């Protein structure tokens, strides 16, 4: 288990002592400052650094120490996915874990000495979350957090991003409806794919360019040569391509066709045509439904074998089973999904899902 430590100047000495204790255990430790007790080091610096690492899953847990611990907890709790709790004794440390599943422990370097600090840390580390009614409550916090953030990065899986934008959720509700016509379904799938890509491309690098407006010369911005490839998994993935191309018209489009061998149930490739320079492109594999994860994993395998390196998977609805399978085989791949549904039924359909996306797109039911 990996633990991220952080303090300000006032928490430095207690952090040092907790660090020495943890280094004598099987936990692995990352130290994100402060470096000493003399130079002022603002607590939000350490809180954001440790909080983000825990929220992303780079570290399992975090410990943050300032003079009182109060500022640390306030700052860390601004980060979606963080549940930071302040503990001054073993009792509060135990309940911070058992009832609140705190993934960050806040302590006060001016309130707690080294020995008591170690006892508090031990109590917190070795207590277990009780789940049940307490889980329902932490889930309420998570639901609130998700409904107030632009997009939610689920901590359970650092490479899984879901979208809570009202337009996406509204349109998703419409395509789930079995009475939605083929025409409307097709239009909505394109629209949702476009809206999702608008968000997933937010980190594409820009470079300044000189342009002349009808009024004057100015410096504007242009995408700095990032090349994108969209790769639909046939056939349902085709339904998402145009929506994405509307936003990234210069993207190249590859195609992957897979069918399921009726005997082995394994996906078998029947078609694969990718852009020649696939190794240099940001690759978005698209498939509306991530169900078992078999086809998606096979498609990613195929793209990697052809030299693809920076790969993400964009789907409208994912089942937890599919997410786990893809991340088990391809932990380097980011998955973007408009929604994570409950589970797969005995026929491999996502529940509640929307039925067979290919049939609904092409009217072949």
Task: Kindly list the catalytic residues.
Answer: 260, 264, 356, 359
**46 C-beta neighbours (distance < 10 Å), count:** 30
**215 C-beta neighbours (distance < 10 Å), count:** 6
Secondary structure (DSSP) of 118-162: HHHHHHHHH-----THHHHHHHHHHHHHHHTSSEEE-TTSTTEEE
Least distance between ligand RB5 and beta carbon 8 (Å): 5
3-state secondary structure of 62: strand
Nearer to ligand RB5, 66 or 245 (CB): 66
β-pairing, 255-260 vs 267-273, is: antiparallel
Least distance between ligand RB5 and beta carbon 41 (Å): 9
**363 C-beta neighbours (distance < 10 Å), count:** 11
Least distance between ligand RB5 and beta carbon 67 (Å): 3
Nearer to ligand RB5, 67 or 239 (CB): 67
Least distance between ligand RB5 and beta carbon 78 (Å): 14
Report d(CA 141, CA 120) in Å as an integer.
Answer: 25
Nearer to ligand RB5, 106 or 237 (CB): 106
Nearer to ligand RB5, 5 or 361 (CB): 5
Query: Could you tell me which of 204, 200, 214 has the C-alpha nearest to residue 312?
Result: 200
State the DSSP code for 279: G
Report d(CA 270, CA 255) in Å as an integer.
Answer: 11
- Residue 291 near residue 322, CB atoms below 8 Å: yes
Nearer to ligand RB5, 54 or 107 (CB): 107
Report d(CA 227, CA 282) in Å as an integer.
Answer: 6
The residue count for the chain: 365
Nearer to ligand RB5, 66 or 357 (CB): 66
Least distance between ligand RB5 and beta carbon 105 (Å): 15
Rule CB under 6 A: which residues touch ligand RB5? 8, 10, 43, 66-68, 70-71
Nearer to ligand RB5, 72 or 303 (CB): 72
Least distance between ligand RB5 and beta carbon 71 (Å): 3
Least distance between ligand RB5 and beta carbon 85 (Å): 14
Report d(CA 151, CA 236) in Å as an integer.
Answer: 25
Q: Which residue is nearest to ligand RB5 (CB)?
A: 71
Helices (H), the chain: 12-23, 43-56, 70-76, 90-98, 114-126, 133-147, 166-176, 182-200, 238-245, 294-305, 320-329, 357-362
Query: Could you tell me which of 352, 357, 355, 314 has the C-alpha nearest to residue 163?
Result: 314
């Amino acid at each position: 288990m990996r633990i991220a430590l952080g303090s300000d100047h006032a928490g430095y000495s207690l952090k040092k002592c907790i660090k020495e204790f943890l280094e004598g255990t099987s936990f692995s430790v990352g130290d994100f400052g402060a470096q000493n007790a003399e130079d002022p080091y603002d607590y939000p610096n350490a809180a954001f650094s440790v909080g983000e690492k825990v929220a992303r899953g780079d570290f399992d847990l975090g410990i943050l120490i300032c003079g009182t611990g109060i500022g640390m907890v306030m700052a860390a709790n601004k980060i979606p996915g963080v549940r930071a709790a302040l503990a001054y004794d073993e009792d509060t440390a135990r309940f911070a874990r058992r009832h609140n599943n705190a993934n960050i422990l806040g302590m006060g370097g001016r309130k707690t000495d080294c020995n008591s600090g170690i006892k508090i840390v031990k109590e917190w580390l070795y207590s277990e979350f009780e789940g049940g009614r307490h889980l329902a409550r932490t889930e309420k916090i998570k639901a609130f957090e998700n409904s107030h953030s632009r997009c939610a990065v689920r901590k359970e899986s650092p490479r899984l991003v879901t979208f809570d934008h009202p337009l996406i959720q509204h349109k998703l509700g419409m395509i789930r409806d079995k009475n939605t016509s083929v025409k409307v379904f097709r239009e909505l799938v394109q629209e949702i794919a476009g809206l999702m890509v608008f968000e997933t491309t937010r980190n594409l690098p820009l470079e300044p360019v000189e342009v002349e407006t009808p009024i004057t010369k100015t410096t504007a911005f242009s995408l700095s040569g990032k090349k994108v490839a969209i790769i639909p998994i046939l056939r349902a993935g085709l339904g998402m391509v145009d929506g994405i191309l509307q936003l990234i018209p210069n993207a190249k489009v590859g195609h992957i066709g897979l069918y399921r061998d009726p005997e082995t149930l394994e996906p078998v490739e029947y078609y694969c045509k990718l852009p020649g320079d696939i190794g240099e492109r940001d690759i978005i594999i698209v498939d509306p439904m991530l169900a078992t994860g078999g086809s998606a994993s096979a498609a990613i395998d195929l793209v990697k074998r052809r030299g693809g390196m920076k790969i993400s998977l964009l789907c409208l609805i994912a089942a937890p089973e599919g997410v786990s399978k893809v991340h088990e085989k391809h932990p380097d791949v980011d998955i973007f999904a408009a929604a994570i549904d409950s589970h797969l039924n005995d026929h491999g359909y996502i529940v509640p899902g929307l039925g067979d996306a290919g049939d609904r797109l092409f009217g072949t039911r």
